[in-house]
Amino acid sequence: AQSVTQPDIHITVSEGASLELRCNYSYGATPYLFWYVQSPGQGLQLLLKYFSGDTLVQGIKGFEAEFKRSQSSFNLRKPSVHWSDAAEYFCAGGWDYGGSQGNLIFGKGTKLSVKP
């Protein structure tokens, strides 16, 4: 069965430091992949997505992610973290079924805390 794994439950970084959040997927076929951010009590905001083409994807708020097929990974990065980036981050994957796009499967999320 398809799954998306975020190995880190909680990460703390200092403001201005670089950030990398890990995401791995499992299943034979390559999924389309997403990163979302959620602030407390809020819905999900799309940061970026990958479904084909260039494996380095640029998103909003200075985030980028790189798809690596050999590692089944889609890690999220940001060169310099701002205090406002503190939130919960979810990686999600979706798989095509006979040409139809199915629902998204979410990782458990990584909570990002930012130290001043």
Cβ neighbours of residue 56 closer than 8 Å, sequence gap 6 or more: 64, 65, 66, 67
Answer for the pair 108, 36: CB distance below 8 angstroms, yes or no. no
Q: Which is nearer to other proteins, 70 or 103 (CB)?
A: 103
In this structure, are strands 24-26 and 3-5 parallel, antiparallel, or unpaired?
antiparallel
Q: Which is nearer to other proteins, 76 or 104 (CB)?
A: 104
CB of 16 to other proteins, least distance (A): 27
Q: What DSSP character marks residue 79?
A: S
The residues of the shown chain that bind other proteins, judged by CB under 8 A, are 32, 34, 36, 41-46, 49, 51, 90, 94, 101, 103-109, 111
Q: Which is nearer to other proteins, 6 or 81 (CB)?
A: 6
